[in-house]
């Protein structure tokens, strides 16, 4: 039986997962929900783009030396158009870029970054995310079946954002108001018996706490994908530069940088040193 981490490792290491890069033109901009901007990009360079995996992402180079990573909401291969749903934090480089954006604007990009693998070997899916990861959750939900067992705990402070995510009637989807409520809900959570696949994406410090709680009570390490989408304690650029420095160090040490367990150390370097306690 293949674990989720093994499956993601095989995907990341696959020869078909060739990085893409190029320049795209903004062809449409609209608001979705209360907190998101939908940006459509068209580029001849998307000919090299395969159908995106759920929660796939592209890196947009917003200004010289500065970039941000955004979830691919959809891809139209005929029109060579990628649509991104971008959470508008209201402050920072990304927010300034969004506020100045207009059709015809050009932006360079690189990619890709698959973050979810749908397994037929699990009994259910557990999602824990905040508003920054809602577009990624939405793309994942679009690939799940009505009959799948789903529990999702989402910190969405603005109720107007809940319609961004399609759900099914029997799925257990709970919307919380903040990260503390999210953490408390996870601590109280009792999963049905069976093998559960976990997916976590929130602010950095909370992602680390949530990851630890889920490993202690709910999901096997080999079936958990945890990540941080933003930080409340440092700028995105500082966080990225720190991760790049660690990436280069691990690569020089000979680590396989397509291994999700190694890549997770870029975000959870302190916590991952304790992972041996959670291995089956």
The predicted-structure confidence for 208-259, as pLDDT tens digits, reads as follows: 999 999 999 889 999 999 999 988 888 888 888 888 899 899 989 998 888 8
Distance CA 127, CA 141 (A): 10
Q: Are residues 28 and 107 in the same domain?
A: yes
Q: What is the residue range of 213's domain?
A: 117-231
Do 207 and 133 share a domain, yes or no? yes
Kindly state whether residues 132 and 59 are assigned to the same domain. no
Q: Is residue 279 part of a domain?
A: no
Structure confidence by residue, pLDDT tens digits, 102-160: 999 999 999 877 788 888 889 999 999 999 999 999 999 999 999 999 999 999 998 88
Q: Give me the residue label for tokens 């480089």.
A: 93
Do residues 274 and 259 touch, judged by C-beta distance below 8 A? no
pLDDT at 267 over 90: no
Entry pTM: 0.90
What's the CA gap between 197 and 115, in Å, rounded? 13
Q: At residue 161, what are phi and psi to the nearest 5 degrees?
A: -90, -10
> Which of 111, 134, 165 delimits the end of a domain?
111
Is residue 255 domain-resident? no
Domain tally for the chain?
A: 2
In degrees and rounded to multiples of 5, residue 272 shows phi and psi of -70, -20
Residue 252 lies in a domain: no
Is 201 part of a structural domain of the chain? yes
């Amino acid at each position: 039986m293949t674990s989720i981490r093994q499956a993601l490792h095989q995907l990341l290491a696959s020869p078909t997962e060739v990085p893409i890069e190029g320049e795209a033109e903004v062809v449409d901009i609209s608001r979705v929900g209360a907190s998101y901007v939908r940006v459509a990009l068209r580029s001849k360079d998307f000919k090299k783009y395969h159908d995106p995996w759920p929660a796939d992402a592209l890196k947009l180079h917003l200004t010289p030396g500065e970039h941000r990573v955004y979830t691919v909401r959809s891809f139209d291969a005929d029109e060579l158009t990628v649509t991104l749903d971008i959470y508008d934090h209201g402050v920072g480089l990304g927010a300034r870029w969004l506020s100045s954006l207009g059709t015809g604007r050009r932006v360079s990009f690189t990619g890709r970054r698959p973050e979810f693998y749908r397994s037929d070997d699990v009994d259910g899916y557990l999602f824990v995310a905040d508003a920054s990861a809602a577009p990624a959750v939405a793309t994942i939900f679009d690939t799940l079946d009505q009959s799948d067992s789903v529990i999702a705990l989402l910190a969405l402070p603005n109720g107007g954002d809940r319609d961004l995510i399609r759900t099914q009637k029997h799925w257990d989807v709970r919307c919380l108001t903040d990260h503390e409520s999210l953490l408390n809900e996870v601590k109280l959570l009792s999963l049905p018996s069976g093998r559960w696949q976990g997916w976590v994406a929130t602010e950095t410090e909370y992602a680390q706490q949530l990851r630890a709680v889920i490993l202690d009570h709910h999901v096997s390490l080999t079936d958990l994908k945890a990540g941080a989408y933003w930080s409340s304690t440092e700028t995105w650029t500082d966080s990225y530069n720190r991760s790049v420095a660690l990436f280069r160090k691990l690569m020089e040490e000979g680590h396989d940088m397509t291994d999700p367990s190694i890549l997770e150390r870029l975000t959870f370097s302190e916590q991952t040193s304790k992972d041996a306690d959670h291995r089956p």
